[in-house]
């Protein structure tokens, strides 16, 4: 069955599988190609299918779990972990170091291999994408140790944004906190979160980043969370911090414990 179900509101089958916490959308497409997924008893041979909430979806003959309410966790990422599900070079990843009982999680944005600090994690991809959007308006705040001579005036000009190698960066609130010899600590706050943005901006100023710690993402703080630890954000707190669109994402039904097992 290659065509979508006609004239019905719903969502793509790969998204439905991902929201149930079984796999990523890419993995869902692979499962479908392998003939492991059926809708109302009909085995799918294409991911180009839209399903409605009242249709029965099975994976390997087992009924799809009820999607859990969207949740969010704070994680203190150590230096030396990749924010990816798997690495072809065998380097350690964040998700290999999380408690297995949390199930499948996705990150809200990323921190690079040598960066540390606050990483938000969610069991719901739609919530994660919502929190990543610049339109959400959440500020990312970093503590940055740099080597070199800090030009305070140049640092202040970052409030007007900067263009580096043809790429435009939005306004950055940057300030000098302390200086010790040839090293200094900065605090930098930004909203866009482009790839390696803080490191590139510092390099543009003639500074070498020797330590990079994210201490806040929007209203959520790293605080005293120990390195490598994870802590769930209370649903009432999460809902209070989200706009109307975000609150709708955390209002889903709880997943039944009997359906938590992922198909083999």
Of 40, 45, 87, 112, which residue is the catalytic one? Answer: 112
As a whole number of angstroms, the distance between CA 95 and CA 152 comes to 39
60 is catalytic: no
Which pair of structure tokens corresponds to residue 89? 């070079």
* Environment class of 245 (CB within 10 Å of its CB; exposed 0-12, middle 13-18, buried 19+): exposed
Banded model confidence at residue 22, pLDDT cuts 50, 70, 90: confident
pLDDT in tens, 180-191: 999 999 999 998
Banded model confidence at residue 53, pLDDT cuts 50, 70, 90: confident
Residue matched to tokens 């040598």: 114
pLDDT in tens, 55-74: 999 999 999 877 777 899 99
Residue 132 — φ and ψ, nearest 5°?
-80, -25
Most confident of 94-103, 147-156, 250-259: 147-156
pLDDT in tens, 234-261: 988 898 888 665 566 666 544 333 333 3
pTM equals 0.77
Spell out the domains of the chain, with CATH numbers in brackets: 11-64 (3.10.290.10), 72-241 (3.30.2350.10)
Nearest to 146 by CA among 102, 191, 207, 206: 207
For residue 34, what is the DSSP state? T
């Amino acid at each position: 069955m290659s065509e979508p179900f006609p004239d019905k509101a719903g969502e793509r089958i790969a998204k439905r599988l991902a929201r149930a916490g079984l796999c990523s959308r890419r993995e869902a497409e692979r499962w479908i190609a392998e003939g492991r997924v059926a809708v109302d008893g009909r085995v799918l041979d294409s991911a180009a299918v839209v399903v409605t909430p009242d249709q029965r979806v099975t994976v390997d003959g087992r009924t799809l779990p009820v999607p859990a309410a969207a949740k969010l966790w704070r994680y203190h990422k150590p230096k030396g972990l990749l924010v990816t599900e798997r690495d072809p070079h065998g380097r350690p990843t964040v998700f290999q170091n999380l408690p297995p009982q949390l199930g499948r999680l996705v990150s809200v944005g990323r921190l690079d291999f040598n960066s540390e600090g606050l990483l938000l994690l969610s069991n719901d991809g739609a919530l994660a994408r919502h929190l990543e959007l610049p339109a959400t308006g959440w500020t990312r705040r970093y503590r940055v140790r740099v080597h070199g001579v800090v030009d305070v005036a140049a640092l202040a000009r970052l409030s007007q944004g900067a263009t580096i190698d043809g790429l435009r960066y939005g306004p950055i609130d940057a300030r000098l906190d302390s200086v010790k010899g040839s090293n200094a600590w900065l605090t930098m706050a930004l909203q866009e979160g482009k790839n390696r943005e803080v490191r590139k901006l510092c390099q543009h100023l003639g500074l070498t980043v020797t330590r990079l710690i994210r201490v806040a993402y929007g209203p959520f703080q790293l605080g005293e969370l120990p390195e490598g630890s994870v802590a769930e954000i209370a649903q009432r707190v999460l809902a209070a911090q989200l706009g109307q669109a975000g609150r709708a994402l955390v209002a889903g039904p709880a997943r039944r414990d009997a359906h938590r097992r992922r198909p083999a």
